[in-house]
Amino acid sequence: MPASLAPAASFIRQGRLDLTPSLVHLLRGKWTDLPPIPHGRTPPLPRYHAYGTLPAMHPRVDLAGLPFADFLAWARGLVGHGDRFHRALYRQVLTTGTFAPRSLAAWREAEAQRPGVIAILEAAAAPVQRPTVVRTRAGHDPQHGETIKLVIRLHDGLEAEAVLIPMRAAVGQASHHTLCVSSQVGCKMGCAFCHTANMGLVRQLAPHEIVGQYLATVAHTGIVPRNVVFMGMGEPLDNLDAVAQAVAVFTARPGLGLADRHVTISTVGRVDGLARLPALGLSRVNLAVSLTAADDELRSRLMPINRTADLATLKRALLAYPLPADRRLLIGYVLLAGVNDRVVDAERLIAWLAGLRSMVNLIPFNDYAGSAFRRPDDDAILAFRAHLTAAGVHVRLRLTKGDDCMAACGQLGNPGLRQRRPAAARGHSVIG
């Protein structure tokens, strides 16, 4: 590194200088002989800003949440160079969760040609670009494999939870894993049967904190999930901009390159969010809707969102949704003993589904301490499924995985974090 560059790089590492466009110009235009920033570009800020209060990132730790175009503009704004150099660095961030240009042959080549380039990059971004797994719990199933709940520590000490789920292979196919990720710490939807609801909404997750759950899981377990489902803590459509940006990173090339059909976004039925999905490019991934009751009075008691968008409103939104021709809407139905598991409940569900190209996921309730609900017995579950099947409904009975380690559907979250909710959020209704 040129001697004149060292003091500035040191200040950036210490967080004493912001890497603003003027500083970049100073570093590149006056203290080095590098060419000016291409096309007058300046390093962009993250596209998404509404994720709560974060400290100033010096150096920045959010690179895993940037689509490649944003990453490229930021990196080229710092040091110039062609796409192939930045593509290698971006691939490193998304495959290892690290930012280490000095370890890449392309950047060693660039450094040989223009000394000091790597120092600028290293000063601008942290070497670790993924959050930390602080605890895991495993549920053991001799037939399906090990389900792992990962508790992931965020920058502010709060925790997100992700679940790595083994998936039994169909005949002629390889087995794989699905990662269930959180979109929020807590949730404000207030569903009566969900453990996460006891937390309330603590804060939103930023795109890099959502993608970071995937990177942390791979680094900790050595397993690369094939599928990602937004069915962890939080209502994805209540944090839609961050979720959309994370999905772009999950599915794009360069990026993690997951197939659209291997990503699923779940919602309790935020019709305002459903209307935005196509414009955000999200109608190409799978959509799951948690229904749980096809009667307005019952659903309003179980899921307060129904008080602002009833079943008729939700169905109109789903009928208008541009569902890809090869997909079905996934309709989640949590079976609660003596509440929504009767023949009359099945008949109401059959009637409500009319006209929708759908697949019903039956999810027997997963118990947790303090819950007023219980799981139906096996006979009741099978009878409910048989009633739907006889009416021509496509239905799948969700196998319970991870309930012995509080990793199953509806069991995530730490209600002890409720007191850490922002003051402005406390006292708001569950619909907000």
The answer to whether 327 and 379 have CB atoms below 8 angstroms apart is: no
Mapped onto helix, strand or coil, the DSSP state of residue 388 is helix
Helix axis angle, 117-124 relative to 68-79, nearest 10°? 130
Degrees, nearest 5: CA angle 241-245-249:
165
Kindly provide the b/e burial profile for residues 99-132, where b requires at least 16 CB atoms within 10 angstroms of the residue's own CB.
Answer: bbbeebebbeebbeebebbbbbbbbbbbeebbbe
**In angstroms, how far is the first alpha carbon of the chain from the final one?**
53
Q: Which of 157, 15, 128 is nearest to 61 (CA)?
A: 128
Helix (H, G, I), strand (E, B) or coil at 290: strand
Active site residues: 409
Phi and psi, residue 396, nearest 5°: -135, 130
Sign of the dihedral defined by the CA atoms of residues 366, 367, 372, 376, in that order? positive
- Within 10 Å of residue 185's Cβ, how many Cβ atoms? 28
Q: Find how far residue 259's CA is from the centre of its chain.
A: 15
